[in-house]
Amino acid sequence: MHATTKQTYGERAAQHPNACAKRMLELMETKKSNLSLALDVTTKKELLEIADKVGPYICLLKTHIDIVDDFDQDLIEQLLALSKKHNFMIFEDRKFADIGNTVKHQYGNGIYRIASWSDITNAHGVPGEGIITGLKEVGLPLGRGLLLLAEMSSKGALTYGEYSSKTIEMARRNQDFVMGFITQRRINELPNEDFIAMSPGVGLDVTGDGLGQQYRTPHQVIVESECDMIIVGRGIYGKGRDVEAEARRYQEAGWVAYEERIRQ
């Protein structure tokens, strides 16, 4: 087991050198939530309604802002107001994957201006370290944090072995901006390292979605794979589900698993 896995989120927050990671860990501790909602809906109305219902239970709201048909600046303003009302951070799951100069503009410009409102975003390591340098130029002065995709949850993903190891090395060289990973299991940390491990592909009722997604339980993710955060989407707002009841259920399952882990 890794050293950080046995520490509480609060203990890790107190000594974390990355400002965005520190804020995230503090929030997880005070809100007793390691649940992130992956809110993949395509209308502004649904997005805001579900975010308001689920807000009390989550530490992080993950968006795919480019799938919203009626996106406008008012959506961002209302989303920011909800993040204040319920005290959650925002993560635009943009999965940048281009050269440094291009991602810099994709992050800071265009109609979405992601860096202006999203606390956290993420990137693939495939273009090499320039992708981090480009994003950092825009994000670091704003106090933003970056996650690298070390491992994906989908069947047949190419993110394994040397690719994942090289991605982790890139993160190590950029710890002022890179705060953690999207991953299926905690990476091997060196002494004095603390990367937040966030894991999508989480569900309590089904094992897949017919399109390659693979689900594991909060216990598998938090205890067995030593990740820090569960990212749950359709398990909470899928067809016919009681959104608030499901959010409460996943928050409890994630927190119970975390308490079991730190007691070990």
Binding region for ligand BMP (CB under 6 A): 38, 40, 64, 93, 152-154, 182, 200-201, 209, 213, 231-235
Distance of CA 204 to the CA centre of its chain: 19
Give me the torsion for CA of 227, 233, 236, 240, rounded to 10°: -150
Binding positions: 40, 62, 153, 213, 233-234
Q: Which is nearer to ligand BMP, 4 or 153 (CB)?
A: 153
Picking from 156, 158, 154, 160, the residue whose alpha carbon sits closest to that of residue 214 is 154
Active site residue 228: no
Residue given tokens 């079991």 in the structure block: 260
Binding positions for substrate: 40, 62, 153, 213, 233-234
- DSSP assignments along 128-168, one per residue: -THHHHHHHHHHGGGT-EEEEE----STT-S--THHHHHHH
Q: Which is nearer to ligand BMP, 177 or 181 (CB)?
A: 181
Q: Which is nearer to ligand BMP, 2 or 234 (CB)?
A: 234
Active site residue 31: no
Q: Which is nearer to ligand BMP, 40 or 98 (CB)?
A: 40
Given the residues 22, 31, 93, 228, the one annotated as active site? 93
Picking from 194, 200, 164, 262, the residue whose alpha carbon sits closest to that of residue 60 is 200
Q: Which is nearer to ligand BMP, 4 or 213 (CB)?
A: 213
Tokens of 32: 């007793």
From the CB of 116, what's the least distance to ligand BMP, in Å?
21
Given the residues 53, 95, 166, 176, the one annotated as active site? 95
d(CA 123, CA 133): 11
Nearest-CB residue for ligand BMP: 233
Q: Is residue 253 a contact partner of residue 204, using CB atoms and an 8 Å limit?
A: yes
Active site residue 119: no
d(CA 182, CA 122): 8
Given the residues 52, 98, 176, 209, the one annotated as active site? 98
How many C-beta atoms surround the C-beta of residue 192 within 10 A?
10
Residues annotated as catalytic (active site), given as ranges: 93, 95, 98
